[in-house]
Every structure is written in structure tokens, then in C-alpha cells.
Chains A and B, each alone.
Chain A
Amino acid sequence: MSLERDLLAMATEPAAGPRPQFFDDPAMDRVWDVLAALTAELAVTRTRLNSLERVLAEHDCLPAGVVDGWVADDEAARDQAQAHQEMLMRVFRGLLQDAAAKQ
């Protein structure tokens, strides 16, 4: 037996019953809901990284504390700063585009 269906869609079906609106503007409910989910996924990701470091340490691939003690050299620091800007531009794309369109 296999389940030839869209599992993601099935898992994301809402339960029957009313969907509450807590804010005057329903968009505010949606935004906070997305923020809650993003926060959860960020926490999952951070924990994945932490688990990975621990697994590597347990397998003697990466002694404990090495990542915390590691300091980026100039080139790595530049790359990471660039990555921060890229992420911010992705996250705040809409905000910037809206602002630009209103000029």
C-alpha cells in the first residue's frame, strides 16, 4: 500500500470549525501566524546545528567548543557579513520594494 497523495496538503488541511480573528485587520492575524511558524522553524534549525556539532564531537570529528572558540579570519568574516546582507535583502524585499514604489 502506498499513499499517492499530496501529504503536505493533507497535513496542512484546517480542522472544521470557525477560524478566529483576534485583530481588527485579518492580515495582522496572518502575519503573526507566519511569524510563529518562522520562529518555530528557526528554533528547529538552530537545534539541528547544535545537534550536528554534538554528533561531530561525539565522533571525534570536532572537539567540543571548537565552533564557539573559532574566530572568522578576514575573508570568512567578509563572506559572513555578505551573507547577512543577502538574507536581510531577501527577508525585507517586499518592504524595500514597497518603499521604492512610493517614491
Chain B
Amino acid sequence: MSAVRKDQATSATAAPAPLPRPWQSIQPHAAMPELSHDERVRFNVVAAMNHFLAQRLLPRVREAAARDVEPALEARLGRPAADRHEYRRELEKNLTWRLWSRLRRSTMELRQQAGRLTVLRQLPELVSTSRDLLKDSGVSLTLDPAMTPPRYLTSLPSHLMPGGYVTDLVDGDVTAGASYEIGLYATLGGQSGPASDRAGRATVAWLREHRPDWRPRRILDLGCGIGANTLVLAQAFPDAEVVAVDAGAPMLRYAAARTAALGGGEHIRFVQADAERLALDEAPFDLVLSLMVLHETSRPALQHIFATSFQQLAPGGLAFHLEQPPYRDKPLIEQCLRDWDGRYNNESFWSSLHDTDLVACMREAGFAAQHVHETTANAAIGDAAPGVQGQEDYGRGGAWYVVVGEKPAVQTN
């Protein structure tokens, strides 16, 4: 006879969450670094540690917050915490929070070191392979060596990647892009899918649902990174001209080579430029996107990027900015847990973005009030169900928030 009756089972004894998919679930391609047995396993282990921290230790942090942190706060203040910043200052005294935070920071640093060493040991080959792949591929790459990268990309390189997206270690460097792609798995546990393109798939799914017969002729992807999401868009709209912009040369070189290696993106032009002040001397775009980009920028940059999306948009076009859901009425402990990446994982604008009224920002950028709205997007990946709104794992589980702006075909004013 079971000692624990079924109705007594608690969340601590409920069936464990599915394990992370193995690293080799990532779709290989000719531009990607080769990983030895131990290098693959090391990423698996970092993903396993993240899984352990999220599934085993994080519930204890929540318990400690309710049991110890909140009563201590109320005793000290004579009231509950007014906001997540006040709450966090008390939470930071808690041992369980400290341990969870310490180990989480360590796994982030382990990912970066592991990815970087894997790339550096084969960098000369990766550089020449990426050049060879691009030759005669049809994929276009235009770099601007004179470009000054935005300060938010250099002062706090996102998710602790040394040198960030913009540092060239050698001539023709692809380190940032290559390290980003192989390491992303370890942080997301494979949740971004075999081609790290879940946000792009969610975007295509949204467009199919909301604009079923629409065929954008020109697409602009702002902050394209390794171009994984760009490729999904390009494959969904094979007749469109696609321009993908990023500030980082080593990201773009890798993106272009990756696109050439995987195929189906021969109509993409990768362009190094600052999305805040984009001067493209060409026709406007029917679809302007930014996918999980804004949280790595800054408040002024956000406004400039929205302005770019308005300026570059053709009449009848759609601006589509996908991000993590705002905090709004989430409990303060949940806000603090989600804020962790902003404070400790170099996601420079993560915390304040969650308080920013993106609809108001879009209006300020020029979109008419009645043509801006909020929506959600998600996508199933393989055997994994689509993300569930409200149950997202810090916006990583594939349940996203989107602010959409439309430019009417005929201006009404």
C-alpha cells in the first residue's frame, strides 16, 4: 500500500518535467563548428544543470519567499513590498535565492566558456568554410567596417558572451555567431527547436492565422543575429526580398554562411547596420520585424527602432515586434525571478522593458492609435506542445507577446 495517497501528492512529488532534448537534436549544417563527444556532453550537462535549477531548486526559492521573505518584509515595513525592487532587496538575503542565483550565473558562464573554446580551437577552418559557403550561394552579405556599435551591445554584452555580438577576434571572424548557435541550446534546453528558430516559426504561424493570404513582397528583419528566424520567414515567403540587419559583423558572417549551408534563403541580404538609424536607400517594406531583440537594447534605442519600423514600412504594411510578456499583474516573486537575467545575465534592458508600455511607444513612433495592438504568438516545436500563455518559462518556452503596428494602405488623415 502506498504511504502517500494520490490526493496528498504535492507539486514536489508530481511527475517531473520532461528532460531537455540532447544537444544532437540541433540541426547540423556545414557552417556549424564540430563538437567532440565531451563538448556535446558538456552542453548537455549545462542544460541538465539548468533543468535541475529550474525544476528542483527554483520551487524551493518560491517556498522560501512565501515562508520567510514576505513575512520578514512585512514585519520590517509594516506593509507588503510596494514593487519588485523592494521585494528583491529582501529576497537577496535569502540563502536559497543566493544558491539558486549563484549556480545559475555559473551555468551561464560555463556555457560561454564551453562554446567559445569549441569555436576557437577550429576558428581558422570555420572562417574559411564560411567564406567558401558564401561564394556563389546567392546569399548576400554587406558589412560596414566603419560602423560604431551601439553602446548597449559593448558595455553589457548580452548573456555574458565575451566580446558580445560585435567583436572580431580575427579577419573574417565568426566566433560570436558560431558560439551563440551551439551554446543557445544549453540555456534553452533545446526549447528553441533544432534550428533555433522558434520565434520565427511563431511569427509565420501568426501571419498565416491573421493574414492568411498575405504575401509580403519585401521583409525587413531588425536584429537578425544568426539569421535563424530570418530563414524561416524567407522560406515561408520564397518570392519576397528579405533584408536582415544586425550590428554585429561576426554574427552576420555566420548568419550568411549558415543560410547558404541550409539553403532556401538565397533571397536574403544580410546588412550590417544600426537598426536605430537605418538608412537603406531602397523601397519600403511590407513587413518589418524584430524578434526577441528589444530586451537587449535600451529605452532610447527601443524608441528609435520603433521609429525605424514606422519609417521603413510601406502603406498597407505590418510592423511586428515580438518579445517576452510584460509583467503587469504578475506576483512580485515571479517578477523578481524573471528579472534575474536583467540583473545577472547582462540582459541590459530586460527589467525595464517589462514595465514599458510598448503600445504607447509605437504611437510615439508614428503609428496611429487605432492601428497598434497587442497580441500573442507561439509555435510548437517537434513533439513539444506550443507555449502556454501565462506559463512561460521567462519567455523562453515559446509563449510570446507581440506589439503590432499597421500602416493603412490609404492614409486616413
Contacts and interface: CB of A to CB of B under 8 A. Distances in A.
Contact of B160 (A15, A23, A29): A15
A23 B127 CA distance: 42
A34 to B, nearest CB: 9
Contact of A1 (B38, B49, B128): B128
A56 to B, nearest CB: 14
Q: Chain A contact residues: over half helix, strand or loop, or mixed?
A: helix
Contacts of B106: 32-33, 36-37
Interface string B110-125: 1011001100110110
A101 interface: no
Given A15-B162, A43-B48, A44-B41, A37 B155 contact: no
Interface stretch (A3-11, A59-67, A75-83, A88-96): A3-11
Interface in A7-47: 7-8, 10-17, 20, 22-23, 29, 32-33, 36-37, 39-40, 43-44, 47
Interface string B344-380: 1010000000000000000000000000000000000
Nearest to A33: B106
A10 B343 contact: no
A44 B45 contact: yes
A10 B120 contact: yes
Nearest to B105: A20
B170 A11 contact: no
Given A3-B120, A11-B117, A22-B101, A17 B346 contact: yes
B147 interface: no
B99 interface: yes
B124 A40 contact: no
Nearest to A13: B162
Nearest to B39: A44
A2 interface: yes
Contacts of B42: 40, 44
Given A1-B127, A44-B38, A47-B41, A15 B161 contact: yes
A74 to B, nearest CB: 34
B142 interface: no
A3 B107 contact: no
A16 B38 contact: no
Report, as a range, how many residues of chain B touch the other chain: 35 or more
B205 interface: no
A23 B45 contact: no
A3 B45 contact: no
Interface in B89-117: 92, 97-99, 101-103, 105-107, 109-110, 112-113, 116-117
Contacts of B120: 3, 7, 10-11
A48 interface: yes
A48 B170 contact: no
Contacts of A39: 49
Interface string B219-234: 0000000000000000
Contact of B116 (A11, A44, A47): A11
B37 A40 contact: no
Contacts of A85: none
Closest 10 CB pairs of A and B: A11-B117, A36-B106, A11-B116, A15-B160, A22-B98, A43-B45, A13-B162, A1-B124, A7-B120, A17-B156
Interface of B: 37-38, 41-42, 44-46, 48-49, 92, 97-99, 101-103, 105-107, 109-110, 112-113, 116-117, 120-121, 123-124, 127-128, 154-157, 160-164, 169-171, 343-344, 346
Interface of A: 1-3, 7-8, 10-17, 20, 22-23, 29, 32-33, 36-37, 39-40, 43-44, 47-48, 51
